[in-house]
Structure 1
Amino acid sequence: MRYWFLLLLSLALPVQADDVPSDCDAGAHCVTEQQLYLSWALGYGQRSNPLYGGEALPLVILPEVYYYAEHWFFDNGVLGSSWQLDPQFTLSLVGQFNQEKGYFQKWFAGNAFQFRSTNASISSPILQDDRYGPQQASVREARKRPTAFDLGVQLDWFNNNWQVQGLVWQDVSNSYNGQHAGISATRFWQTVSGKWQLSSRLHWKSNKLIDTYYGIDNNEAFYLPRYNGKASWQPEIRLGWQYPLSTRVALLAFLRYLHLDDAMTDSPLVQDNNVTTWFFGISYRLF
């Protein structure tokens, strides 16, 4: 229940600002059909890594690419097809690489549209407390985690300055044979200081997903402590800001906090109970 409370609390924050007009010229959440959008953001930020021996990812160049045709779309790594149920509801069939491997492998294809980073320091191969304390395992000593591809069903509801989304994913690559899901609500508004976006999401990840990526089984090195993963609930909150300098150039920033429950933190691979991501930079729209 505390996760649902966090979700509702973040969306109940008071906002003293003028509402964003519903037209797409003013709204940051509108797209134009059959028009390619390509932009690059240059700046600096970082995504933390909650794993022992995992590398934090510096964010220097962030691409944004999307294209919406009449019956299909590509949106920053997500390929899908949508059906307009009515003016407020849209149903979509979507596919993308599962993002979980991004903590284990720096140059993972699933990170391509979110992070582009430079070299970071590598922790020692194996970390352990004294013989009476809990054991801790570096990701560099664990076996390679699989690359998974998921298919999902997404339902979106739009109402002027709000968007509510529900999404269920299924592994179709036979990599972890599990599911994950999420429900989110996003508020858009605009002030003299720029365009703002506040989003809160609750993630659910099945025990098969958690066990595949964060479990330690008999196929690992013998000295690593065993751990069987269990289903996980992970609340997330994100705040984004954009200030247009011209029709093609804008300042932007975002801050994201993801909380990890004990299904994750009980794993010997996991060091922290959260993942934080932040970025500040300037973007230029090519198309």
Structure 2
Amino acid sequence: MRYWLLILFVLSMAAKADTAEVCLDDPGCATEQKLYLSLALGYGQRSNPLYDGEELPLILLPEVYYYGENWFFDNGKLGTSWALSEQWHLSLVSQLNSEKGYFQKWFGGNVFQFSQSFTNASISEERIGPMQASVHEISKRPTAVDAGLQLDWFSDNWQVQSNVWQDISNTYQGQHASISVGRYWENAFGRWQFIAKLNWKSAKLIDTYYGIDNNDPFYLRRYNGKPSWQPELRLSWQHPLSERFAVLGFLRYLHLDDAMTDSPLLRTNNITTWFFGVSYRLF
């Protein structure tokens, strides 16, 4: 992992993080070398697909980003970026893997998930243990750090983003990737954002967090993870009340395929997240 961090540091010194040139009137645009910090107070919830897994209450949500000359921090994502053209940006990024957040309620990786910046082994019936496995019965799931490449395309009120991630902490030794299409618009009711996203997660990632192996109690049904495809929809809304205050809300739906739901840990095939509140911009 230290070699990846060294590479990230060297590249950040050699490259210039090129953000949009004019940000005066665009609330979705990041101004270079300026810290943005806001807090949203309200109520919401993220469901938990695991048996006996705790739902995550959403009360106070931070949004933090800073784009420096050579590096940026954007709601839990640390990286450096290159402007390939006016519309295309390539970034080298790193962040905490979010899967552990379903197993540990107050996992640090949960903090920035809600910001709005923009081979299964066959087992005979005689050997199968309980069909359901409580999250409290299994071994502790690990914390992982991912690094990867992010490619962004911007055009008017549209944005396409693709990410490819690799575990650099040698925790699950796998990969995951995503591609999303976002549309932004304004009307008399406020500012809106709709995103359709497709996530892919490798068998090693799914097996590490949702598999049941010899490290877990013997009476649980064994399960080996498989590659997973997970479509996702997000809708967010914001209505400014003043220069610093705004009312906001968002809704997110993530669908889980058989690679997830075949695990005895899973009790549902989806994860829903929602929030409604008031935000205040400190910086």
Task: Answer yes or no: same fold by TM over 0.5.
Answer: yes
In the alignment, is the contact (CA less than 8 A) between 1:63 and 1:114 conserved in 2? no
The answer for the alignment partner of 2:194 in structure 1 is 198
Q: Deviations over 1:234-287 (max 9, x none)?
A: 000000000000010000000000000000000000001000000000000000
CA distance in 2: counterparts of 1:107 and 1:77, whole angstroms:
15
Paired position in structure 2 for 1:68: 67
Instruction: Return the alpha-carbon distance in structure 1 between the equivalents of residues 113 and 206 of structure 2.
Output: 22
- Residues paired across the two proteins, number: 251
Question: Is 1:184 the equivalent of 2:180?
Answer: yes
1:30 Cα deviation (Å)?
1.0
Give the Cα–Cα distance (whole angstroms) in 1 for the partners of residues 255 and 49 of structure 2: 10
Partner of residue 218 from structure 2, selected from 202, 217, 222? 222
Maintained 8 Å contact 2:159/2:182: yes
* Aligned match for 2:141, one of 145, 158, 165: 145
Q: Deviations over 1:40-91 (max 9, x none)?
A: 0000000000000100011000001100011100011110000011100000
Which residue identity lines up with residue 58 of structure 2 in the other structure? Answer: L
CA distance in structure 2 between the partners assigned to 1:56 and 1:281 by the alignment: 19
**Which one of 156, 176, 193 corresponds to residue 152 of structure 2?**
156
Counterpart secondary structure, 2:134: coil
Paired AA for residue 37 in structure 2: L
Partner Cα distance (1:225, 1:103) in 2:
20
In structure 2, give the amino acid aligned to 1:189.
Answer: W
| 1:110 Cα deviation from its structure 2 partner | 0.6
Match of 2:252 in 1: 256
1:42 aligns with 2:38: no
Q: Give the superposition deviation at 1:29.
A: 2.5
Post-superposition shift, 1:203?
Answer: 0.1
- Counterpart of 1:32 in structure 2 is 31
Paired residue for 2:105?
106
Q: Distance in 2 between matches of 1:245 and 1:162?
A: 25
- Rounded to whole Å, the distance in 1 between the matches of 2:248 and 2:199 is 26
The within-5 A match list for 1:105-124 is 105-114=104-113
Structure-2 change in CA distance of 1:251 and 1:23 (3 Å): farther
Change (3 A) 1:227 1:257: same
Rate the CA distance shift 1:23–1:83 in 2: closer, same or farther, 3 A.
closer
Cα deviation, residue 133, structure 1: 10
Query: What is aligned with 2:230?
Result: 234
Displacement of 1:146 in angstroms is 0.7
**C-alpha contact 2:130 2:220 (8 A) present in aligned 1:** no
Distance, in Å, in 2 between the alignment partners of 1:217 and 1:35 is 48
CA deviation digits over 1:101-150, x for unaligned, max 9? 000001111112246xxxxxxxxxxxxxxxx9961000110001110000
**Distance (whole Å) between structure 2 residues aligned to residue 102 and residue 60 of structure 1:** 16
Stretches of 4+ aligned residues off by more than 3 angstroms: 22-28
SS of corresponding position for 1:212: helix
Deviations 1:157-182 (A, max 9, x none): 00110000010000000000000000
Q: Contact 1:71/1:82 (CA < 8 Å) preserved in 2?
A: yes
**Residue 165 of structure 2: which of 161, 169, 174 is its match?**
169
RMSD (CA atoms): 1.7
**Equivalent pair of 1:62/1:114 in contact (CA under 8 Å):** no
Judge conservation of contact 2:129–2:220 (CA < 8 Å) in 1: no
Unaligned runs of 5+ in 2: 1-20, 115-127
The one-letter code matched in structure 2 to 1:80 is G
SS in 1 for 2:139: coil
Alignment of 1:43-58 (within 5 A): 43-58=42-57
